[in-house]
Amino acid sequence: MKSNPDHPTPTSRFAGRGHASAWPEARELGYDEGVRARTEHLLERVADVVPQAEWPLHAPLIDAINRLKVERNAVILAHNYMTPEIFHCVGDATGDSLKLAQLAAESDADIIVQAGVHFMAETAKILAPEKTVLVPDLRAGCSLAASITGADVRRIRQAYPAYPIVTYVNTSAEVKAESDICCTSSNAVQVVEAVAGQWGTDTAILIPDEYLAKNVASQTAVRILTWKGACEVHERFTAEEIAQLRSEHPDAMIITHPECPPDVLKAADFAGSTGAMAAFVRDQAPKTAILITECSMSDNVAVENPGTRFIRPCNLCPHMKTISLAGIYESLRRLQFEVNVDPDVARRARSSVQAMLDLPGSEKPPAFDTRRPITAADYVAV
């Protein structure tokens, strides 16, 4: 994994492990001249999205985390939906959940702190079983991952034995373990078409996000069956909201995520995964952009694209927002909230993830063609 040049590179194996008392509690950290000097370059990076008045609160934690990482030989994986002071100031690897898990497996670090939700930490553990994986807050769940269980998938397989089961990576290890192959929002169309061809069928089951499934159905000739699950952030956006935004900001590019309802994608200028959304802004450099996704995504993309003005009609993810600098620091300091996966579950889940990784990759994150007609995706009957 490529190190972030703004952060020290971990060098020692579990140095200081078990010596939390050598570091003060988060509430005892203070802002002084040393902290100011060591974090000044990071403030410059995020000055447009983090209020300067808040910096004396963030900087002591940022400084302590970046120093403690070296002592613990740890890396922090920061998801795109983390707040900018986490994403840009302590994250060693940034991106979507699968990219972070792949980078975790490639890292030389002994400890991984997942600045994201629990299923992401599980995926990191699946792909890097020899590493210690920590999640900073046990409340960091996911409405979509919670919508389905391994038992549900077994019932689906019993009812539809002739059809392959494609599972979105935004699921628990148990659900991945019961599936044939995983997918991301970026490669879902490719995965569905590939596995349907391998099985010699015209139908695939894509679970658990009903909106991703419906949006995939509009992009392929493969018949899609799905589950009634959704992301509580993206399902709340409506086509009426998009029309209102278009009226208020006629020159803005409206960029959305395929976890949104199909009529939202139909009303947008571009639709794709978080990586594709960020790449679109970078490559097209629109004067004004509206990202229809979680709030922090706009802040994080804005840091890298200062020439674009961002309108933020976003929805907060309450689960992502349980992750804080203080929580990351205490997780590192105490080595607390370790994530483990049953070895047999991990082995089977790894097989599903690996089946996806074995497919040919794409140099550029693909987009969803928003001009295509909306296509139905029926729910599985279980």
Is 295 known to sit in a ligand binding site?
no
Tell how far CA 2 is from the center of its chain: 19
Is 300 known to sit in a ligand binding site?
no
Sheet (strand 132-134) strand order? 93-95, 74-79, 111-115, 132-134
Is 182 known to sit in a ligand binding site?
no
Is 231 known to sit in a ligand binding site?
yes
pLDDT score, position 9? 47
pLDDT score, position 3? 42
Is 163 known to sit in a ligand binding site?
no
Is 317 known to sit in a ligand binding site?
yes
Q: Say how many C-beta atoms besides its own lie within 10 A of residue 113's C-beta.
A: 32
Coil, strand or helix at 319? coil
Ordered by where they begin, the domains of the chain are 20-142+320-334 (3.40.50.10800), 145-230+342-379 (3.40.50.10800), 234-311 (3.40.50.10800)
Is 170 known to sit in a ligand binding site?
yes
Residue 232: what are its φ and ψ, rounded to 5°?
Answer: -70, -15
Residue 186 has pLDDT above 60, yes or no: yes
Q: What's the CA angle centered on 7, arms 334 and 84, to 5 degrees? A: 80
Q: What residues contact 202, with CB distance under 8 A and at least 6 apart?
A: 196, 221, 222, 223
Residue 2 has pLDDT above 50, yes or no: no
pLDDT (average), residues 352-368:
86
Is 305 known to sit in a ligand binding site?
no
Is 185 known to sit in a ligand binding site?
yes
Residue 21 has pLDDT above 80, yes or no: no
Is 362 known to sit in a ligand binding site?
no
Residue 85 has pLDDT above 60, yes or no: yes
Is 379 known to sit in a ligand binding site?
no
pLDDT score, position 1? 39
Q: What residues contact 164, with CB distance under 8 A and at least 6 apart?
A: 180, 181, 195, 196, 198, 199, 201, 204, 205
pLDDT (average), residues 116-120:
95
pLDDT (average), residues 326-341:
97
pLDDT (average), residues 206-212:
98
E strands of 270-377, at which residues? 270-272, 288-292, 309-311, 367-368
Least confidently predicted of 13-17, 169-173, 296-300? 13-17
